[in-house]
Structure 1
Amino acid sequence: MPANARKDHPISMRLPESDLALIDRAARLRGRSRTDFVREAAVLTAEEVLMDQRLIRLDPEAFAEFMSIISAPATVVPEIVEIARHRAPWDNRDDEG
């Protein structure tokens, strides 16, 4: 590759002014440029999509064990039940609603 060849590839997009204002506000809060913010958000989203599509291969015995585990009845976890009984600290709504 020649010494002056760029390794970056530009992406151009058209956005409504409201989207751009939202992106700029979030980028400022993170102390990032618009380009860095959008690039990071796009890369993170792409990674999430690809991770959701990951293929997991199991031999027949492992698959049977996996199926028996996910098919079994749920187990009650008392600590989680206790947490679920309490109102979230940020939820100030009245019970009467």
Structure 2
Amino acid sequence: MPRTVKRKEYPLSMRLPEADIAIIDRAAALRGRSRTDFVRDAAVRAAEDALMETAPIRMSPAGFKAFTAALSEPGTAVPEMVELFERAAPWETGRSKKRG
């Protein structure tokens, strides 16, 4: 009696121009990944992003009221962020280190 084995992987085939393959291979090499792993990860990440953009956010009327109330409150400064934005960038101060 033959055993039924549930398939865990499915093939995906696509035709790409040589220039696309070259840039994918270059990026995959920079990441130390195979072309297949690189493309799979990129495709899954793009799919997750697309799904998250369309996922509805549900909350109770009381939760929505609390959410809008929180958005209506004045912002509070975060000291570390204030310091960061007040700090001059290295290229603005002339203190940037030149490597050569």
TM-score computed with the length of structure 1 as normaliser? 0.72
Instruction: Please report how far the alpha carbon of residue 6 of structure 1 lies from its aligned counterpart in structure 2 after TM superposition.
Output: 4.7
User: Counterpart of 2:61 in structure 1: which amino acid?
Assistant: P
Instruction: Please report how far the alpha carbon of residue 45 of structure 1 lies from its aligned counterpart in structure 2 after TM superposition.
Output: 1.7
Match of 1:26 in 2: 27
Tell me how far apart the structure 1 counterparts of residues 66 and 19 of structure 2 sit (CA, whole Å).
51
Instruction: Please report how far the alpha carbon of residue 35 of structure 1 lies from its aligned counterpart in structure 2 after TM superposition.
Output: 0.9
The gaps in structure 2 that reach 5 residues or longer are 95-100
Match of 2:59 in 1: 58
Tell me how far apart the structure 1 counterparts of residues 57 and 7 of structure 2 sit (CA, whole Å).
37
Q: 1:16-74 CA distances to partner (integer Å, 9 max, x unpaired)?
A: 33322111011112221101110011111211222233322211111101011112232
Q: Size of the alignment, in residue pairs?
A: 92
The gaps in structure 1 that reach 5 residues or longer are none
User: Counterpart of 1:79 in structure 2: which amino acid?
Assistant: E
Q: Secondary structure at the match of 2:20?
A: helix
Following TM superposition, the consecutive aligned residue runs of length 4 or more in structure 1 with deviations greater than 4 angstroms are none
Give me the CA root mean square deviation.
2.6
Match of 2:82 in 1: 81
Match of 1:2 in 2: 4
Bigger Rg, which one: 2
TM-score computed with the length of structure 2 as normaliser? 0.71
